[in-house]
Amino acid sequence: MNNTTNNKKENFEPRIIAFVCQWCTYTGADLAGTSRIQYAPNVRIIKLPCTGRIDVHFILKAFEQGADGVIVSGCHPGDCHYTSGNYYARRRFEMFKKMMGFLGIDDKRLQFAWVSAAEGRKWGTLVDEVTNNVRALGPFEDYKSLKIFQAE
Amino acid sequence: MKNYQLAAKDLETFFERILSSNLKLVAPVSTTQHIANLKSKTQILFKEIPTKEDIKKIISDTYTDMSAKEVFFPQSEPVIEYTHKKGGAVDIKDVEPTLKETVLFGSRPCDAFGFSLLEKLFSWDYDDPFFLKRRDKTTVISMGCTSPLESCFCTSVGLSPMSNIGSDILFTPVDNGERYLIEVVTPRGEKLIETINGAVTSTTTRQSIFTDGNTLVQNKNILEGKVKEQMKRKEDFKDISDILKDKFDDSQLESETYRCLGCGVCSMVCPTCHCFDIVDEGESSHGYRMKNWDSCSFALFTKHGGGHNPRDLQFKRCRQRYMHKLHYYREKFADALCVGCGRCVRACPVNLDIYSVVYNLKKAYANKKKDNKDNDNV
Amino acid sequence: MARIGVFVCWCGENIARTVDVVKVAEAMKSIQGVIVSLDYKYMCSDPGQKIIKEAIVNERLTGVVVALCSPLMHEKTFRTAAKEAGLNPFLLEVANIREHCSWVHEDKNEGTKKAIEITRSVVERVKQNHELQNITVPITNRALVIGGGIAGIQAALDIANGGHQVVMVERTPSIGGHMAGLSETFPTLDCSQCILTPRMVEVARHPNIKLYTYSEVESVHGFVGNFKVKIRKKARSVDINVCTGCGICQEKCPQKKIPSEFECGTGFRKAIYIPFPQAVPNKPVIDREHCTYFTKGKCKLCEKVCGPKAIRYDQVDEYVEEDVGAIVVATGYEVITSEKFPEYGAGRFKDVINGLQFERLASASGPTEGRIVRPSDGKEPETIVFIACAGSRDPAKGIPYCSKICCMYTAKHAMLYRHKIHHGKAYVFYMDIRSAGKGYDEFVRRAIEQDGALYVRGRVSRIYEKTVNGQKKLIVKGADTILNKAMEIEADMVVLATAVTPSPGAAQLAQKVGTPYNEYEFFSEAHPKLRPVESNTAGVFLAGSAQSPKDIPESVSDASAAASKVQILFSKKELERDPYVSVVNTDKCFGCFSCEAVCPYRAITREEIKNRKGEVVRMVAQINKGLCQGCGGCISICRAKACDLIGYTDEQIWAQIHSYPADPIDPTEENGHE
Amino acid sequence: MTTNSNQSNQNANINYNDLQSEIRHLAKDLLESKKVRIVIGYGSGPLNSKPVPVFITDANDVDRLVYNEFCFNNLSIYLTKAEIKAKAPWAIVVKGCDARSVIGLVVENQIKRDDVFTIGVSCNGVKLEGNTLSKCDTCAVKNPSNINVNKVIGNIKTASSTSASTLDKELEQLNKMSAEERFQFWKNEFDRCIRCYGCRQICPHCFCNNCIAEKSAPQWISTTPGSRGNFAWNAIRAFHLVGRCVECMECSRACPMGIRLDLLNHYLAQEVRDSYNFVAGMDLEQKPPLTTYNLKDNQDFIK
């Protein structure tokens, strides 16, 4: 990283990884596409069957892999195709978010959301919002400083 | 080899001289965390002393929580780096450890004896470059013990609180700490003395003015006898190897180690444990082959691919630890792999004490032999 | 070694306009394992698919990535193509670079960079895919129809006539739904009972149909082909097998003043009642809230007069379990009540009624035997004002959509009123007339030209009461936007064509069945144009107004469409299901059974692991492949990752996460990052 | 080895000698009556050092059992060890916090409740190197009678102090710090981790026979003791104990590098108590919070 940190902050484009459920948010993102809603290109979507399948390991590995922000989104409570996947996920996410905050990870970098298949517009604004928040925070230097071994 | 002496007040200049002659200095420092006065457990570990200001942090005569083997056998180091080039070719290159002439100050005679054991081990049939290159670049200055801890038992393994085996230089605080006798043990030690000469006057010229008439060496031997006397643990480990020979299926070892939980603390703190695990880290396009410390206390250590584990129960792993250190190794190399530093005793969460295990084994063996003798002549 | 083929589609210019597809295909070549990577104008066309098939055969591909539109569109198409070319369909994955990339970003450079990374992540994922076979699951050839209106009846009859067992559950004491309450139906004005009652009887008598009336669906478990439905049979307090339906109990019951739900409040019923004369089953039910025996503990008159002794006061709710393979949701609609219109004096003025109430007044079997009279004083109204779009197309009332059927039934109401009271004046305030069906517009023109309905294009702002020479009148203040003048009409009665909403409790039922619904609680169809009668939940079909406001012809055609979909499902002995199920590695499982607690399909059972001597050493989880639906809930709750989800394995997700490099690819660089 | 019962171990209002003899008496009955095959208790350590876990199977060995204020081990860990599991039914000497672990193990189907006879001993705080552990400041189970134990020995009347414990004060310190500062604090703590897995091996609730840290395909947690692997390992270990940790704090005692795991555990346990009104190991019927849900769970952190 030869450029200086503040210079990095100017033309810094955050990398956001999104873990979404295929029944609601993935289809919602499709709807955002069919309705040609323009939103920030920084997000990379990974499809999963349900928020119930989204594991805390994925989030940690995403940050380890250099993501500056992570979005996790799925069906609204009650709409889950598997009836209760998002209820369990809600509790798990709440505790994980609290722990990450306690460990010093700014909670704007980890955003949870419910986006249904009919909310294409909400998906667009969600991505824009998270991208702007993370751009303001700058690259996630803290997590990038965690190297595999000391001398790396 | 020659003996020198150094006044205690000149110790700091001694360190400054080391730093100024472009040598890396590693010495024991306290690592208590003080962020927002949040105190974590006070720990004394070997750390690099980068600048002159840090010299005052050095605790010269102390017992560290972790042994100094980390200087030669780091907890984790890359051995290979691989990168997938475009077009599918794979570029593999060895990772050369970045080495610098180093001075390790403050290890104990038991630690130093451990280095000599490791040096022999890492070069008995294959010369392990990682260890040997680091050992060659390092001058070990040990500090003799004047107040051993309750859990220390170096005399049981044929050592003494002031033995100089494995050290390049041995400092011994004499005249109740006023002065250090400096015994130079190896040429490497001699070379270090020359490079930082001037700080130390040769004892021969100073010897005559020593007030109570004994030469410092004589003074040290008296002190050594007194310290050996103070030690609480004196059981001799000499014939433990023969006792252990037929103890494999004996239930006593099982009951002694029943409470072991299988954490790897004892191996990690031990100056002679040398097992390591090789694992690839990184992703398909780029990564490292890492060499990390391992421990025979872990179940994973002997777990087969199919799931079978020859050492399935915890006591079998403990048995392996004792047998290896006190019997198998001695059978092949005539050395016991225990230097009596007592670190595993202090660190064990369930207080498994190698000394008391040997003590009990010997007592049981003695009783059995007595019974046999009674039966013979009855 | 993986031999991957990447095929990037232009999609005409839908993708190519904002993503440099050539550069994407080029960038993929540098990825380890990619053998062929090319782009084509229309990958989903026959020639496009042919390219892929040939590549699979010629290059002996072990994995294919097609970068084009959303997998929801063409994943099936391309997987079938792969199968035809001899590649296991589950070794083909779709990278969504249209909806998730080209359509949502204008900047071509950003779009290309993102498309490269999306495709790359799917390539890394495909390397971890395994050959999978669809799971075959036995199907129970029985269907459940929820709702006994015209849609439910038609669906049940079609399925039953198709030779399959049907279970119908109707919440009210009789089937028939709202249609039974209508007077005459547009556009033919034939009487609704005449065309509906035969169908209701046919349902009751059909050997293949098991009818549960006055019952509700309590819970639905399982999945397509294997639903377990628990039905709550509410206590009727009458044993319908013994009761002959003679109706004496209804006559003698002293409770007279209970507003009848069927009459929408325009008429009354007894505590023990048969909702309407043509009810099926034509057996009474006791309304326990109003029956004096249940409220005060005395009376029991009905029991005394009942010849066959069919009264059962001690009857309790009964739960029944039915195994079905498909569910047709036909729960119909409700109209919002006039209370929602304070500006029209709703609730205060007795003569401001809604469309269904007017139907009851006009109906021969209604409380007034078809005489249109004012509910307040029973006099024949001289002037009636009909207000269309009462609540519909009105975001302020929270209902922005059009209820579709009101224009037609308002015209019918005006026509019926004019037929019965020739000198009566019928004003209709409307915004637009939506009469798009066959013979619909002619019907409205007839109402205006022949029957003299006075159509006024405009809104009614306020209605207030005034006594004009001794008579209570409703002063309707409105505007005529064509003649551009304010209007004030002294009306005797006002009929609001109130908005159509799903029947109450639709959302709770949707959650029980596990199928999505929209913000107005109408059930969501799988695809508005191509799959209108299917829901996103496999095996759940939609018919009638449960999906959106519909008139009778549409409800019937919906019902037959849903019935045909059910027949397609039942045509196969077994159901092929995608193989995404969870599998347990019994070595790693340590038997804490958190997975069993979170599994929504109760697909996890406990299995004993024994040693050679046969003693149980430990318990592990075992997953029933038939029940598991692949939600993955058990995997993220399992701490040791003893189970994994086929199709979304940890390896695949790990590979996808790892494919996004820390420092992004810069497409402008000539040969890409690696 | 000499037993150290003569040591004067009077405590404010606990007579450890009485407790000790009661334990021995009870152990003798249980073994003789064959109600249990093994008694897991505390014995005097080698060369009279701190007490250590002992396993009595012979009725007349019960005199090896001791009890004093230095008995800080949580013995319920041994109920998950294969060699001891085979010797069911067991009796086990448990303080309040340990008894909660036994309940946790029963709730998670690792042991059956009627296989274990818990001897609940009153405890007024255990001492390590002279000072009482901070976990005991606000301990609510000094008298284990309110936990499902078979037998309660000694009846200590001290109400649990409601004043903030040292842990709570330290948590306040941490919460006052900014996110970056907190991250640096935890990074420095976890960087010292040498991956000896002492925290895992001593925790009664870490009973997986194949820990996630040993999983290599795919490798979620890097096994190399560098910052990345250590951060992931300590985060995942703490997260796996959310709603299950009974705050016996054995992990932070066992950690040779003195990493402040107790702060992390205490924070998470408090969050579970605040969000789901759930305290681990208190009730046999209650499922761990992450395996159930409530329709009205908080979701204001979700957009």
Cα→Cα distances B305→B299, C536, C587, Å: 13, 43, 12
- Write out pLDDT tens, residues B103-124: 999 999 999 999 999 999 999 8
Alpha-carbon distance of C449 to C466, in angstroms, equals 31
* Amino acid occupying residue B63: Y
Helix (H) or strand (E) holding D201: helix D198-202
pLDDT for B204: 43
Q: Pick the last residue of a domain from B191, B206, B230.
A: B230
pLDDT for B43: 83
Tell me which chain C residues have a C-beta less than 8 angstroms from the C-beta of A47: 71
Q: What are phi and psi of B251, to 5 degrees?
A: -75, -10
- Write out pLDDT tens, residues C482-518: 999 999 999 999 999 999 999 999 989 998 887 878 8
Mean pLDDT in residue range B288-297: 92
pLDDT at C70 over 70: yes
Tokens 């002293």 sit on residue: C254
pLDDT at B284 over 90: no
Chain B, 289 to 308: residues with Cβ < 8 Å from chain A are 290
With pLDDT > 90 as the criterion, what percentage of chain C qualifies?
66
Report if residue B77 sits inside a domain: no
Q: Where are the domains of chain C?
A: 4-134+655-659, 235-316, 333-501, 582-645
Tokens 């044929």 sit on residue: B158
- Write out pLDDT tens, residues A87-123: 999 999 999 999 999 999 988 999 999 999 889 999 9
Neighbours of A9 (CB within 10 A): 14
User: What dotted CATH number matches C333-501?
Assistant: 3.50.50.60
pLDDT for D3: 37
pLDDT for C338: 73
Chain A, 129 to 148: residues with Cβ < 8 Å from chain B are 148
Cα→Cα distances C161→C283, C564, C566, Å: 26, 11, 12
With pLDDT > 70 as the criterion, what percentage of chain B qualifies?
90
Alpha-carbon distance of B344 to B354, in angstroms, equals 8
pLDDT for B210: 31
Residue in chain C lying closest to D83 (CA) = C617
Query: By the CB < 8 Å criterion, does A121 face chain D?
Result: no
Cα dihedral C220/C221/C226/C231 (nearest 10): -30
Cα→Cα distances D150→B211, C114, D113, Å: 72, 63, 10
Concatenate the DSSP letters of all residues of B185-206 into one string: -SHHHHHHHHHTTTSSEEHHHH
- Write out pLDDT tens, residues A42-92: 999 999 999 999 999 999 999 998 899 999 999 998 788 887 899 999 999
Alpha-carbon distance of D132 to D125, in angstroms, equals 6
Give A109→chain C minimum CA distance, Å: 16
Considering the domain architecture, whether residues B178 and B273 belong to the same structural domain is answered as: no
Q: Where are the domains of chain A?
A: 14-144
Tell me which chain D residues have a C-beta less than 8 angstroms from the C-beta of C654: 218, 220
Q: Pick the last residue of a domain from B230, B250, B269.
A: B230
Give D46→chain B minimum CA distance, Å: 6
pLDDT for D2: 36
Give the model's confidence band at B375: pLDDT under 50 very low, under 70 low, under 90 confident, else very high.
Answer: low
pLDDT for B325: 92
Neighbours of D169 (CB within 10 A): 13
Considering the domain architecture, whether residues B30 and B157 belong to the same structural domain is answered as: yes
- Write out pLDDT tens, residues D179-219: 888 999 999 889 889 899 999 999 999 999 889 998 888 88
Alpha-carbon distance of A5 to A2, in angstroms, equals 9
Between D2 and C133, where is the model more confident? C133
- Tell me which fold the domain A14-144 belongs to: Rossmann fold (3.40.50)
Q: By three-state DSSP, how is residue C272 classified?
A: strand
Report if residue B287 sits inside a domain: yes
User: What dotted CATH number matches C4-134+655-659?
Assistant: 3.40.50
Number of domains in chain B: 2
> Does C96 contact A49 at a Cβ distance shorter than 8 Å?
no
pLDDT for D1: 35
Report if residue B78 sits inside a domain: no
Q: Which of D277, D205, D276 is nearest to D246 (CA)?
A: D205
Considering the domain architecture, whether residues B186 and B299 belong to the same structural domain is answered as: no
- Tell me which fold the domain C582-645 belongs to: Alpha-Beta Plaits (3.30.70)
Contact C417, C372 (CB under 8 A): yes
Tell me which chain B residues have a C-beta less than 8 angstroms from the C-beta of D223: 277, 279, 281, 292
Mean pLDDT in residue range A8-23: 86
Considering the domain architecture, whether residues B341 and B215 belong to the same structural domain is answered as: no
Considering the domain architecture, whether residues B257 and B355 belong to the same structural domain is answered as: yes
Helices (H) and strands (E) in chain D, counts: 9, 7
pLDDT at B345 over 60: yes
Alpha-carbon distance of B250 to A94, in angstroms, equals 53
Tell me which chain D residues have a C-beta less than 8 angstroms from the C-beta of B300: 214
- Write out pLDDT tens, residues C535-581: 878 889 999 999 999 999 999 999 999 999 999 999 988 888 889 99
Q: Which of C592, C596, C650, C654 to mutate to test the interface with D (most CBs of D within 10 A)?
A: C592
Range of the domain at B284: 240-377
Note the pTM of the prediction, 2 decimals: 0.77
Mean pLDDT in residue range C98-120: 93
Give the model's confidence band at B377: pLDDT under 50 very low, under 70 low, under 90 confident, else very high.
Answer: low
> Does B288 contact A150 at a Cβ distance shorter than 8 Å?
no
pLDDT at C454 over 50: yes
* Token digits of residue C132: 């999978």
Cis status, amide bond into D218, omega within 30 of 0? yes
Of B86, B283, B307, which is closest to C658 when you measure between CB atoms? B283
- Write out pLDDT tens, residues D225-250: 989 999 999 999 999 999 999 999 99
Report if residue B182 sits inside a domain: yes
Give B205→chain A minimum CA distance, Å: 46
pLDDT for B34: 57
With pLDDT > 90 as the criterion, what percentage of chain B qualifies?
32
- What Rg, from alpha-carbon coordinates, does chain A have? 16
Q: Which residues contact B245 (CB under 8 A, 6 or more apart)?
A: B327
pLDDT for B199: 44
Contact C559, C330 (CB under 8 A): yes
Cα→Cα distances B272→A135, B318, B321, B341, Å: 50, 16, 12, 10
- Write out pLDDT tens, residues B202-248: 444 433 223 333 467 777 888 888 888 888 888 888 888 888 888 88
Report if residue B235 sits inside a domain: no
pLDDT for B211: 34
pLDDT for D4: 39
pLDDT for A8: 52
Q: Pick the last residue of a domain from B184, B204, B230.
A: B230
Concatenate the DSSP letters of all residues of D50-90 into one string: S-EEEEE-SGGGGGGB---TT----GGGGGGSHHHHTT-SE
Query: By the CB < 8 Å criterion, does A91 face chain C?
Result: no
Contact C259, C265 (CB under 8 A): yes
Mean pLDDT in residue range C319-333: 95
Query: By the CB < 8 Å criterion, does A66 face chain D?
Result: no
Report if residue B45 sits inside a domain: yes
Lowest mean pLDDT among A95-99, B287-291, C292-296, D124-128: D124-128
> Does A48 contact C660 at a Cβ distance shorter than 8 Å?
no
Considering the domain architecture, whether residues B101 and B174 belong to the same structural domain is answered as: yes
Give the model's confidence band at C6: pLDDT under 50 very low, under 70 low, under 90 confident, else very high.
Answer: very high
Q: Which of D205, D291, D292, D293 to mutate to test the interface with C (most CBs of C within 10 A)?
A: D291
pLDDT for A2: 40
Beta bridge partners, B38, equal B35
Considering the domain architecture, whether residues B103 and B15 belong to the same structural domain is answered as: yes
